[in-house]
Amino acid sequence: MNINKILIAIPVFNEADLSNVIHGVRKFATDILVVDDGSTDNLRENLTGLKRVHLIIHPRNLGYGKTIIDSFMYAIKNDYDYLITIDSDGQHDPEEIPLFLKEIPFYDCDILSGTRYFFQTMVGNGVPRERYLINKEITGILNRITRFNLTDAFCGFKAYKVDKLKTLQLTECGYGMPLQLWIQAWKMGLRVREIPVKLIYKDLTRRFKGVLEDPDTRLRYYKKIIEKGLADTEQDSRTELEIKKKFRF
């Protein structure tokens, strides 16, 4: 029998609920990786005492995207067959990990992506309005480019064939890294499928930090990543205006 080697990775930055998340993940995994993105709340001391948990510790905050990129590299270096990523802020339920595990091995996709918006969601029904609207706009742009038919461009609850991750060259360290991922996945001909997961927002007052707190700034940042990904992909002299016109940004 072929037994697949599976890693579950948890990106972390000052998450008070981490112990509960790890406890939930442990029900379904023996190999757990925690990537601490420069936490400042004594989280590091608590992590070092955990058994059967692999650690990557950033000396300072490098960004969400960097934690995922490091998870990819760790899975590749250590010869895992599949990688599952789950956020540590309570927006993903570890009890849903079996939804991904039961799909392994994948035969019809290379990335199995969770979606919180597979079913029609009313704005205001426990969903921060600006996050939902930005997600919807960016998802629409990506679909016009890739034809992936995504419903949730930003869900971090995913499972990957590790061998396919070797084809990607991800460099975006911020929250926009998933957009670079989608463009490169499309470029490399990877197959994508979505699977519904719970929509959980425990703290509707939670905000992005710094300049990304402003929704308009955040939307422009996301679009810039897509534009750059397309320019890099096409390797031609397309101007920003031509790209926007073609894909109706």
Q: How far is CA 17 from CA 25, 166, 202, in A?
A: 13, 32, 12
Calpha distance 160→109 (Å, rounded): 9
- pLDDT tens digits, 57-88: 999 999 999 999 999 999 999 999 999 999 98
Indicate the pLDDT class of residue 1, thresholds 50, 70 and 90.
very low
Q: If we measure between CA atoms, which residue out of 221, 145, 156, 151 comes closest to residue 186?
A: 145
For 11-36, how does the pLDDT look when each residue is reduced to its tens digit (9 = 90+)? 998 876 788 888 899 999 889 999 99
d(CA 48, CA 28): 21
pLDDT at 204: 56
Fold of 6-128+148-207: Spore Coat Polysaccharide Biosynthesis Protein SpsA; Chain A (3.90.550)
Give yes or no for a contact between 130 and 61, defined as CB atoms under 8 angstroms apart.
no
Which pTM was predicted?
0.89
Q: What is the pLDDT of residues 118-171, one digit of tens each?
A: 766 555 556 778 888 999 999 999 999 999 999 999 999 999 999 999 999 999
Domain ranges of the chain: 6-128+148-207
Instruction: Give the separation between CA 153 and CA 150, rounded to whole angstroms.
Output: 7
CA 173 to chain CA centroid, nearest Å:
12
Percent of the chain with pLDDT over 90: 62
- Kindly state the tokens that stand for 212: 């990304």
Distance in angstroms (rounded) separating the CA atoms of residues 27 and 7: 13
Check residues 232 and 62 and name the one with the higher pLDDT.
62
pLDDT bin (cut points 50, 70, 90) of residue 215 is confident
pLDDT band for position 206 (cuts 50, 70, 90)? low
Poorest-pLDDT segment among 19-23, 183-187, 241-245: 241-245
pLDDT above 80 for 209? no
CA distance to 78, 173, 233, 238, per residue, from 178 (Å): 23, 10, 16, 23
Mean pLDDT value across residues 94-108: 95
Q: What are the b/e assignments for 79-88, b being 16+ CB within 10 Å?
A: ebbbbbbbbb
- Check whether 175 has a pLDDT greater than 50: yes
In whole angstroms, give the CA distance from residue 75 to residue 161: 10
CB 94 within 8 A of CB 21: yes
Q: What is the mean pLDDT of the chain?
A: 87
Q: Is the pLDDT of residue 89 over 50?
A: yes
